[in-house]
Amino acid sequence: MEKKVIETDILIIGAGPVGIFTVFEAGLIKIKCHLIDALPMPGGQCAEIYPKKPIYDIPGYPEILAGDLIDNLLKQVDPFKPGFTLGERAENLNKLEDGRWEVTTSGGTIHRAPVIAIAGGLGCFEPRKPPLENLIDFEKSGVDYIIKDPEKYRGKKVVIAGGGDSALDWSILLSGVAERVALVHRREQFRGALDSVEKVHSLATQGKMDMFTNCQVSSINGNGHLQKVTLTNKEKSQIDLDADYFIPLFGLSPKLGPLANWGLSLDSNSINVDPLDYSTNVEGIYAIGDINNYPGKLKLILCGFHEATLMVQSAFKRIYPDKHLSFKYTTVNGVNPF
């Protein structure tokens, strides 16, 4: 059976918000894009992990749910008709004789393009799990590592563990959905945004949720489904909590996966880039969004949008070396599909 071959101008690795927005900026200057993502749908973490989580720092939106942001971005790029290879991971990279790159996915699909834009967010990731002996026994019956739909927890007793933004934000949101929410953190101080910390303390003071600091979850138990979570505090005393769900939110463990073998300059699980145009040390390959690294880097979606905008300007020169690119505002030129 002959392998499928896809040809495009910019091959985007990662179909999260930054990857999707790249299609729009590229489309404005008549550059075609195709996106590869290991997930079965576009949207990256925003769609797969926290579609119902509110985001507050997207310009023009005082508040927008992550899933709604992805829906809007997909509508924005629809006129440019991007291609998608979903449910397949980018694996092998080869340089063709004509100077283009060839990327083969885990599904055997071949992609060819003069420019690659890596917009893989955190790369391949998996949740960091607490060291509990029987954790795996409840992973489909009471233990969740991501929250896709808050309604799943309506009227339920929920224990959340963690001290970062995710633990704080979901504790706040679920306090108005679940029968009872308990937030457990092994330290006194939280690592999240000050505003969120203040909200959690206020909810706990009002009796709208429970908060246990200087505590860790030491065991979980149940008969067929989770029923009890046991905490151990600094004094080694134990506290038993009735629970229908235990949600440890200790972040994600990022891994570059096959991209680590592409000859790119790396800093741990990030790709080093030139902040002038976010190019890597390999000609024709760029990295934008959370996966890149440069002095002053901020891992924010809006920063990724900025990086994508500058990157496609540089990519144009590589794709069309003999053409002059005239920058025009969309308010003047409009949005003109191919």
Q: Alpha-carbon distance 305 to 30, whole Å?
A: 18
Q: What is the mean pLDDT of residues 290-316?
A: 96
Strand ranges of the sheet holding 83-86, from the earlier edge strand across to the other edge: 83-86, 33-37, 10-13, 115-118, 285-287
Does position 268 have pLDDT exceeding 70, yes or no?
A: yes
Which pLDDT score is estimated for 163?
93
Written as six digits, the tokens of 291 are: 């996966």
Which pLDDT score is estimated for 258?
86
Nearest to 42 by CA among 62, 8, 66: 66
pLDDT in tens, 25-64: 999 999 999 999 988 789 988 877 677 788 999 999 999 9
Which pLDDT score is estimated for 209?
97
3-state secondary structure of 202: helix
Residue 136 neighbours by CB under 8 Å, 6+ apart = none
pLDDT classification of 126: cutoffs 50, 70, 90: low
Identify how many contiguous H helices and E strands the chain contains and give both numbers.
7, 23
pLDDT in tens, 224-249: 999 999 999 989 999 999 999 999 99
- The full set of domains in the chain, from first to last, is 5-125+252-333 (3.50.50.60), 129-248 (3.50.50.60)
CA dihedral 334, 289, 33, 115 (to 10 degrees): 120
pLDDT in tens, 143-189: 998 787 899 999 999 999 999 888 998 999 999 999 999 999 999 99
Say if strands 115-118 and 124-127 run parallel, antiparallel, or are unpaired. unpaired
Q: Alpha-carbon distance 38 to 103, whole Å?
A: 14
Say if residues 119 and 278 touch (Cβ distance below 8 Å). Answer: no
Residue 121 neighbours by CB under 8 Å, 6+ apart = 14, 16, 18, 44, 45, 289, 290, 291
Q: Alpha-carbon distance 252 to 117, whole Å?
A: 23
3-state secondary structure of 112: strand
Q: Alpha-carbon distance 211 to 39, whole Å?
A: 35
To the nearest whole number, what is the mean pLDDT of the chain?
92
Q: pTM for the whole thing? A: 0.70
pLDDT in tens, 66-123: 999 999 999 999 999 999 999 888 999 999 999 999 999 988 999 999 999 999 876 5
Write down the H helix ranges in the chain.
17-28, 44-48, 66-77, 165-174, 194-205, 301-319, 330-333
Which pLDDT score is estimated for 127?
76
Which pLDDT score is estimated for 253?
67
Say if residues 196 and 168 touch (Cβ distance below 8 Å). Answer: yes
Does position 220 have pLDDT exceeding 90, yes or no?
A: yes
Q: What is the mean pLDDT of residues 300-323?
A: 95
